[in-house]
Structure 1
């Protein structure tokens, strides 16, 4: 439980799985290369992706390892089903998926060369998870935390091929239905998600970090449906939060988006991704 009383529950991303896969901009391929280079990965070892969702980061990084395992606290298994579907689509045969809360680790999963957290660690009991994951890492292993915002691009007024999505008005529309305080599962987050990762990691005995800045600035085209999916991919506007008002919200959102672009197309510049690498001992690989 966080300091403001918020507690994780299984409805956090209920109904968001297909929206997440369709609405989040993909991680760039250079992210995998940056991680490979920083850690000297050579195709050996195991990857564990904690809070994997529909497998966005798992699928990108799995080719760097012998095997990969994605785990997610997925109440209805929709996220993991979407991850498995996407893995089948691209022919990724070295990945397994398991429904599991991070707080349940190590769960007899063994040890790993790398454990990744991509846009997920802030939802967890951080001290508990950091302590348990440290014991799951190989002696030359690493914890890789991927900080990113892939549902929307950077703000700006530089010319793009199509209009930017009207994110300020989208936020106002969501607040009109759900209230001004950020929703998350059955609770609210008036102060946002947890911070203080560095203190957590040092308390758990990790050393580092090594920081990598990856990508950012690429122009990405988006459709009305993709931007709408991005809205529903968020814990703060997951479909279940709207209850019986969901059809009305969907209609207003669609109207807002179609009025904002005559062509039905939008464009955004991607945000930079911050990769933070921690090590389980005093010696880095």
Structure 2
């Protein structure tokens, strides 16, 4: 296995996870989008560039606040899911492009906003920040969105630690990243943005409810690069049975509501 760095990134990173990503990844709350819209005076004009757009989570949510939205992602299956959702919503102002964030090609001052969600750590972050500054119009910004607390690898909550123990029993103690290994971003996103040409940083935050059931928990795990369904081959049912047993040992009703946090770190030009 190799490190999942920008130079080795390929679409197998989420191979088989795309459908789970659509349905089971925590979504950013509307309040967070509202705060971004207020901070950047989004009024239905201008263009949005959503890098590493995946299944279109951000692009679709913000589509009505721009004249045009462009979503880039190197994974064709992710874009297929994004297009299906756009068709269901009747979204006509979004263009999906199959390419990496590093391959973005547009004239300077083309966009009012550039957004990146949970894909930023897979990118050449310094390069993307520098290019984004040039691509943005004055008064625009680069916004890095994230959700916090759902990942068992970073949680100290007992039930999630027990779930992680099951994952490790099956896949080993080292965190996977598709066919590579996870590497923590160094330095953190905040530090890179602080060093950049962006003149001002603003952090928007909002809380939201995450409803955990056996299905949503397993679906979430299968949506991640560390727990792809393909890792388990013909033994998926056995893995799922163990996850179910652990979850029910904590929540016999099979349901748990958790308050999580979402954030948007914005650099203003």
Same fold (TM over 0.5): yes
Does the CA contact (< 8 Å) of 2:112 and 2:139 recur in 1? yes
Query: Could you list the per-position Cα deviations for residues 219-258 of structure 1 after superposition, in whole angstroms to 9, with x for gaps in the alignment?
Result: 4433321111111111111223334544432343344445
Q: Which residue of 1 aligns with 2:169?
A: 176
Residues 1:156 and 1:14: Cα distance change in structure 2 (over 3 Å): closer
Seen in structure 2, the aligned counterparts of structure 1 residues 220 and 132 have a Cα distance that, compared at 3 Å, is closer
- Rounded Cα–Cα distance in structure 2 between residues aligned with 1:244 and 1:150: 30
Once the two structures are superposed, the pairs formed by residues 142-153 of structure 1 within 5 Å of their partners are 142-149=141-148, 151=150
User: Larger % of helix: which?
Assistant: 2
Q: CA deviation at 1:19?
A: 0.8
Query: Aligned partners of 2:218 and 2:93: how far apart in 1?
Result: 32
| 1:182-204 residue CA offsets vs partner (Å, 9 max, x unmatched) | 11122213x53444324433554
CA deviation map 1:55-97 (0-9, x unaligned): 11111111111111111121xx221111111222222222121
**Residues 207 and 194 of structure 1: CA distance in aligned 2, closer, same or farther (over 3 Å):** same
Root-mean-square deviation (CA, aligned residues, Å) is 2.8
Contact 2:71/2:96 (CA < 8 Å) preserved in 1?
yes
Determine the structure 2 residue equivalent to 1:125.
124
Q: Runs of 5+ in structure 2 lacking a partner?
A: none
1:18 aligns with 2:19: yes
Tell me by how many angstroms 1:273 deviates.
Answer: 1.8
SS in 1 for 2:9: coil
Secondary structure, aligned partner of 1:169:
helix
Partner in structure 2 of residue 212 of structure 1? 204
Q: Is the 8 A contact 1:24 1:233 kept in 2?
A: yes
**Alignment partners' CA distance in 2, 1:109 and 1:87:** 28
Which among 175, 188, 191 is matched to residue 196 of structure 1?
Answer: 188
Judge conservation of contact 2:113–2:141 (CA < 8 Å) in 1.
yes
Q: Is the 8 A contact 1:72 1:80 kept in 2?
A: yes
User: Which residue in the other structure is 1:95 paired with?
Assistant: 94
Residues in 1 aligned to 2:135 and 2:104: alpha-carbon distance in whole angstroms: 9
**After superposition, where does 1:161-172 map in structure 2 within 5 Å?**
166-172=159-165
How far apart, CA to CA, are the structure 2 residues paired with 1:187 and 1:221? 30
Tell me how far 1:26 sits from its aligned partner.
2.0
Distance 1:236 1:69, change over 3 A: same
Q: Which runs of 5+ in 1 are unaligned?
A: 158-164, 281-285
Q: How high is the TM-score relative to the length of structure 1?
A: 0.82
Partner residue, 1:187: 180
2:265 is the counterpart of 1:272: no
Give the CA deviation at 1:152: 5.6
Please say if residues 9 and 122 of structure 2, whose CA atoms lie closer than 8 Å, have aligned partners that are also in contact: no
